[in-house]
Structure 1
Amino acid sequence: MKLAYVGRRSIYDVVRKIAYGVSLFGDGDVVIVDGRYRAGGDVVLPCDDYRCVAKELFASVPKILGGGKLGVDLGTAKNGVVYVWRGELVLHAVLDWATVEAVLKSAESVQIHMGSSPYVDMKRALSTLGCREVRLVDELDAGSSRPWLKRRYPELEEDELDALTFTFREGVGVRTCV
């Protein structure tokens, strides 16, 4: 699966911080286009800042590909979010709570795997999802695969790496309707 980008180089630099292995002006299964180009594409970006681009990509790419897993590592200051499709890392980002909330609200066709620990306000996160099922993953248990994933994806930040480990664990299914 390949992602491609068409548009200004400055926005490409933002996109490649979020999209794993995206090519510039290449062919891809999903084509991301700078909104100023007025060209057709699978995902048209109406903005150029990190938070907005992340929100657009996490909302659009899973709908286009259909299915996949969204890994979420909630923290006290920053949150790691990844999108994995058919076992392959597609998107990764470190986001603030407001952007994570927007991503979770738009996550319709994906399985959500969220890290569970005593330090995370799970009620706040689960209330964002309404009655959707979430797979809660024990963060200590998932941590055993971190060294292997760190070697495979050395460019990922710690929060992104944690979120990625959650997608490889089954976890416990929880549905909280609040």
Structure 2
Amino acid sequence: MEIAYAGRRAIYEELLGILSDSVIRVEYMENVDDCGGDITLLDYYVDSPCRALRVGSDLVGEVAEAISESVDDLVVGADAGSRKFGLALLSGNELLMHAMLTPRRAEALLGRLRGVLAIGDNPLGRRVASRIGACGVFESVAMIDEAEASRKRDWLRGRYPSLRLDELDAVAIALSARGGIDWCRGQKIKIA
């Protein structure tokens, strides 16, 4: 997948920090008339003829939504915490995007995504899934045993050394969704 971006370099650097460079190539558009990429992002002030998504203050949310609309087999991994909320977007077993958000921002974002939601099975995770109406938003919702998922952490740390602990846990939770039971429908989860 390729994302083309035109605008402030600080936003470009932030994109490089939240997107997985092994799967998503981020290209800085020197010429704003050269429309390209699977997803084209423009800073709020850039004037261009490209069909593009304008990004502003909620870069993580805007990019996550764009990926959600572009990827058919998206799994959203969520490690819900009372202060920090790790979020990871995967396609197949490949990490596309990761972020650390406040619980309030994460809940607002989760309500705008689609695909399969994999969230840690604890009182907070169940409360978040209920509050955002996850059964009506996502194709499937998997409640994942966090102790089981955490066994992948060391392997994931070697693969993604720049991720913070809550982001690693979100990836581990997402990777554990395949073959789980849908919390909403009581049937096996199918991921394309």
- Is the shorter-chain TM-score for this pair beyond 0.5, marking a shared fold? yes
Amino acid at match of 1:129: G
2:65 paired residue among 38, 59, 69: 59
Instruction: Please identify which structure carries the higher helix content.
Output: 1
| Separation in structure 2 between the aligned mates of residue 98 and residue 5 of structure 1, nearest angstrom | 27
1:105 maps to a residue whose letter is: G
Kindly state the Cα deviation for residue 31 of structure 1 after the two structures are TM-superposed. Answer: 2.7
Residue 85 of structure 1 corresponds to which residue in structure 2? 91
Runs of 4 or more off by more than 6 Å in structure 1?
A: none
Q: Which amino acid aligns with 2:181?
A: V
**In the TM superposition, what whole-angstrom CA distance separates every residue of 1:99-152 from its partner, at most 9, and x where no partner exists?**
1112111113x100001135x352243221253341010000011111111101
Structure 1 residues without counterparts, runs of 5 or longer: none
TM-score where L is the length of structure 1 = 0.84
Q: Contact conserved, 1:73 with 1:159, CA < 8 A, in 2?
A: yes
For 1:25, give the aligned amino acid.
Y
Give the structure with higher Rg (CA). 2
Q: CA deviation at 1:3?
A: 2.9
User: Counterparts of 1:162 and 1:65 in 2: how far apart (Å)?
Assistant: 22
Letter aligned with residue 149 of structure 2: A
Match of 1:78, as an amino acid? K
After TM superposition, give the deviation of residue 42 of structure 1 in Å. 4.2
Q: Please list every run of 5 or more consecutive structure 2 residues that lacks an aligned counterpart in the other structure.
A: 30-35, 186-192
1:146-175 per-position Cα deviation (integer Å, ceiling 9, x unaligned):
111110100001111000001111343212
Identity of aligned residues (%): 28
TM-score scaled by structure 2?
A: 0.79
Root-mean-square deviation (CA), in Å? 2.1
Match of 1:36 among 27, 31, 45: 45
What is the aligned residue count? 170
Residue type of the alignment partner of 2:155: W
